[in-house]
Amino acid sequence: MQGDAADGGDVRRSVTDDARAWLTEVLAAAPRPALELRHEAAAHGIGEQALYAARNTAGITTGKERIPNGRWFWTLTPDAGDQGEVGTPPSP
C-alpha cells in the first residue's frame, strides 16, 4: 500500500519513475540502440509501456541510422535534467 508524506509513510515511486531513472542512467554515457534497451529493460523487470512512458518524459530523443535497415537509437538530451515532466514526442 502506498503511503504519503503526511501520514509518515514512504512515498513509493511509480513504475514509470523507476523506468525513467534506469533509462537516464544507462543513456548517460552514450546513445544506445532501442532494441538493446528494450531487452535490457525487460531483464530489469521494466515493461515496454513503462519504458516508452519514461522515454517520453525523460528528455530522450530518437533517431535512426541513415543506412539501409538502420537501427533506432535513443539519446539523452543534454538538458534532460532540466525538463522535469516535459518530454519529447514519440518517434514514428
Q: Is residue 43 part of a domain?
A: yes
Task: Give the total number of structural domains in the chain.
Answer: 1
pLDDT at 80: 60
CATH value at residue 17 = 1.10.10.10
Q: What is the mean pLDDT of each successive set of 10 residues along the chain, which is 92 residues long?
A: 45 83 95 97 96 93 95 87 43 44
Q: Is residue 7 part of a domain?
A: no
What is the rounded distance in angstroms from the CA atom of residue 34 to the CA atom of residue 41? 10
Task: Tell me the one-letter amino acid at 85.
Answer: E
Q: Is residue 90 part of a domain?
A: no
> Measuring CA to CA, which residue among 79, 63, 61 is closest to residue 71?
63
Do 31 and 25 form a contact (C-beta atoms < 8 A)?
Answer: no
The pTM for the full model equals: 0.69
Give me the domain span that covers residue 27.
13-82
pLDDT at 61: 95
The helix/strand count (H/E) of the chain reads as 3, 3
Q: Is residue 52 part of a domain?
A: yes
What is the rounded distance in angstroms from the CA atom of residue 43 to the CA atom of residue 91? 23
What is the rounded distance in angstroms from the CA atom of residue 86 to the CA atom of residue 59? 7
